[in-house]
Structure formats: structure tokens, C-alpha cells
Amino acid sequence: MKLSRSGVYLAGLAVAASAFVAAGCGGGGGGGGAPEALPSSSCTAIEYKGDGDPDYIIASDMPLQGSSRFQTEQINTAIRYALEQADWKAGDYNIGFQACDDATAQAAKWDSGKASQNANAYAANDKVIGVIGTFNSGAAAIEIPVLNQAPDGGIPMVSPANTYPCLTVNLPGGCDSTEPDKYYPSGTRNYVRVVAHDAYQGAAVAEFMQSKGVKSVYILNDKEAYGLGVATTVRNASESLGIKIAGFEAWDPKATSYTSQMQKIKASGADAVFLGGLIDENGAQVIKDKVAVLGPNDGDVLLLAPDGFTTQATIDEAGPASKGMYMSIAGVPIDQFKGAALDFIDGLQSGPLKGKAIDPYAIYGGQAAIVLLDAIGASDGTRSDVIKQLFATQVTDGLLGSFKFDENGDPEDASGAVVGFTVYVATDELTTETTISPKPETVAAAGGK
């Protein structure tokens, strides 16, 4: 998902005084051999329930405030569950965990300054062996370059959610000429993701619009690179399928009303509107004003949005105006996961979630954790070798199906949930409309090829 700034942010390197190992840890946790904790201003205390002290820490980096909180808390729950299943070990190494927040209360979403601060803290702590994150692509664009230059060959990152293509590849017409190389100043990749990038999502959205008989779409974005990126892939894919682009522009997240913008869309004659961006960027007001001017989402003008909107928070914040809008997300619905994922889901639901509904991103978080733990376990204990093992990963019948990582860090030779996309329709909750695995030629077109 998601991006606003990029480059290397190394100023102000500082690490807070050591925290403590969380109460209730098993074995000798909290003894003199425990690693120094990441700053309590951003992260939980070290969580560890194994024997002795943890040898290393893995951190998750997610926005734990704002509209994405439901999803990110479930990702962290899945990470903890994966650690419990592994007895808090990766091979011969004892692994502790800290959940870190890259959001601020003021922003109510991920924050560039907080992401920079977190990345520098990870880089300065020699016991941080890997990071699961980020959730937002904008935060990834800030953190990847810092962790890429960390001591001992860089800190490996595994994202369960980033879909901005330019973090790993340069899509013609969709990426800056310096992307993705500027994210890897050392010249060596340290980042992988277990989710397909937005050329796939753009293709899936366009094919879905075609199936609904859409002839003309007006595309908006929230001015962030994630939003502009997914909007661009939807435009490219739609044009390849013969859907007219009635307009392509940004909405101002700080505006109090979008009525005039919706009047402009109405005059264009578009029979669909696509919102490329995040619900956090005043998306609820955009939805309300769309309905006020253009009518209900299941009427003459459809409303569609990508994974940045695909959360219960969209329905809660937009209220009745959200009814009938379509939202896409990488992966398949919980009831369509198969194989190993079923046991993982059952364990989560009967255990830490205590019967609560499971967000699909929890399964991506679990897969990211398993991939990182396996790479650590196969390594010689150095960050550089963990990175090497990550890129040698081959998952067979995992939580998301089967896949490996290409040289860029993207999943390839993938089957199952890795390349599937779900389109939900908003009712009182997210209700599955359909699942799509977009055609290769539509994906290529979405990527500007």
C-alpha cells in the first residue's frame, strides 16, 4: 500500500535508554543477557516467551493509530502467533519481538518523521535482525534506504502489505527515473514483500469495471505516491480494455468539501469514479460528497477504491454513503484460504482473537513472519546472510500458497492468494463480491508495458 517522501533520513540518530523485557516472559527473560530494547516512545517492550534471553529482536513497523489500526493490530497478533508456534525461535536463535508504531496521534496515520525515527533506531540497534513492515509504502520509501545502509550488510525487511510498484521495479510512466535504485544506496537489495504490487491491482480493478459494463471512469488520487501509483495503473489498464478516462486528477486531503469536484465529474458523463489513495486522507468526506452529488454507489455512477480503503473503518467513517461502493485488496477472502492457512486461521480465531473476525492482512502478516523466521533460522546469524536466505526463499503450500522471490524482492512463480485479488462491496461490513486473478496482458498494460 502507500508514499509521500523518499530518500535517506539519517539525521538525529538516537536510541532511547534500554527498556525492559515484558513481564510474563518465560525462562530467564529479562536477565543481564537480554538485548537492548527499541525506544518505548515508538515500540512495545520486548516480548519473549522462550527459554533464556532472546538473541535477537524482530520489529514490526505499522501505523497503530488511525483508520488502519484494526488491520495492523491483527498483523501484529499474527506475528506473535507465528512466534509462539515456533517457540520464539528461528533455528538455534531465540527471537524477541517489539511492535513499533510509525503513526502519530496528530496525523492519525503513518508519519514521515516517525518512520525516519524508527528506521534510525533499528539501524542503531545491533540486535535487530529483521523488520516486518512497513504497512504503508510511503513509510517503506523512507525506511528502506536507512535499513539498506545499516551495519552488517543492512537489515532485512519483509512487507506484508506494500503494493507501490516502484519500491522494487521501474514501471514505464509510473515511476520516477531514480526508482527503485534510490531506495538501495548500498547496491544490494534488503527488501521483499509477500504481496503483489499495484500493476496487478490496477489490472484487477479494470477487469472488474469492464465486467460491470463501465464505459467511462473518472480517476482521483490523494496526492501520495501510493495513491498516484495505483491510480496510474488503473488508468493504464482501463485504457487497454477500451474504457474511456473521463478525468485524472487529485483530491485535496485537507479540503472540507468536494462538492465542486464532484460537479465537475458529473459534467464529464463518467459512469464510474475510482479513488486512488487512503481512507486516512479524508476519504470518508470524498465518499459522502460523491453520493451527495452523483447519487448512490449502486446507481448510475459506480464508486471503486483500492486496498487503501479496504477496511471496516471506511464503512464506519463514511456511514450510509459507503453502501454499494467496491473496494479491492490483494489476496482472497478468509473463507477462500486453503491448506496451511486454515490451521493458522483456526489457531488465531480460537486463541488470541477470541472468536473475532479475521482481517485477510493477518494472514499476510503471518506469512511475512514465517518467511523472516525461516531465513533467520537458515542463516549464520548475520544480517547479510539473513538477506541472502530471504532471496533464496521458496515457499511451498504456505499460508498464501506457493511462491519464491525474484531478484527485485517481488513474489514470482506464485499461486494461491499471492496473485489473487478480492473485490468487496460495502454493506454493513465488507461483503465479498468476487475474486479476480488478472490476465497477464492486462497486468503488463497496467505497468505501462
In a domain, 35, yes or no: no
Q: What distance in Å separates the CA atoms of residue 131 and residue 57, rounded to the nearest whole number?
A: 9
232 with 245, same domain?
Answer: yes
235 with 349, same domain?
Answer: no
User: Which amino acid is located at 326 in the chain?
Assistant: Y
Q: How many domains does the chain have?
A: 2
In a domain, 296, yes or no: yes
CA distances from 110 to 38, 129, 230, 270 (A): 18, 23, 18, 33
Strands (E) in 184-261, as ranges, are: 191-193, 216-221, 244-250
In a domain, 204, yes or no: yes
Closest CA to 295 of 318, 260, 277, 271: 271
The model carries a pTM of: 0.81
In a domain, 23, yes or no: no
In a domain, 7, yes or no: no
427 with 398, same domain?
Answer: no
- Domain boundaries, position 109: 56-195+337-417
* Phi, psi angles (nearest 5°) of residue 379: -90, 175
Give me 66's grid cell: 488511525
361 with 256, same domain?
Answer: no
167 with 260, same domain?
Answer: no
224 with 112, same domain?
Answer: no
Q: What distance in Å separates the CA atoms of residue 261 and residue 249, rounded to the nearest whole number?
A: 10
- What pLDDT is attached to residue 33? 65
In a domain, 8, yes or no: no
Exposed (0-12), middle (13-18) or buried (19+): which is 71, by Cβ within 10 Å? buried
* CATH number of the domain encompassing residue 441: 3.40.50.2300
In the chain, DSSP finds a helix count (H) and a strand count (E) of 12, 18
User: Which amino acid is located at 177 in the chain?
Assistant: S
Residues 6+ apart with CB under 8 A from 380: none
What's the distance, CA 300 to chain centroid?
A: 32
Give me 147's grid cell: 535499513
Q: What distance in Å separates the CA atoms of residue 353 and residue 72, rounded to the nearest whole number?
A: 13
423 with 411, same domain?
Answer: no
344 with 315, same domain?
Answer: no
Q: What distance in Å separates the CA atoms of residue 376 and residue 372, rounded to the nearest whole number?
A: 6
In a domain, 118, yes or no: yes
In a domain, 15, yes or no: no
424 with 436, same domain?
Answer: yes
180 with 321, same domain?
Answer: no
- How many C-beta atoms surround the C-beta of residue 237 within 10 A? 31
313 with 437, same domain?
Answer: yes
pLDDT (tens digit, 0 to 9) for every residue of the chain, 449 residues total? 434 322 332 333 333 333 333 333 333 333 346 799 999 999 999 999 999 999 999 999 999 999 889 899 999 999 999 999 999 999 999 999 999 999 999 999 999 999 999 999 999 999 999 999 999 999 999 999 999 999 999 999 999 999 889 999 998 877 889 999 999 999 999 999 999 899 999 999 999 999 999 999 999 999 887 899 899 999 999 999 999 999 999 999 999 999 999 999 999 999 999 999 999 999 999 999 999 999 999 999 999 999 999 989 999 999 999 999 999 988 788 888 889 999 999 999 999 999 988 888 899 999 999 999 999 999 999 999 999 999 999 999 999 999 999 999 999 988 777 878 999 999 999 999 999 989 989 999 999 88
204 with 183, same domain?
Answer: no
Strands (E) in 271-374, as ranges, are: 272-276, 302-305, 326-330
Which residues partner with 193 through β-bridges? Answer: 159
- How many C-beta atoms surround the C-beta of residue 5 within 10 A? 15
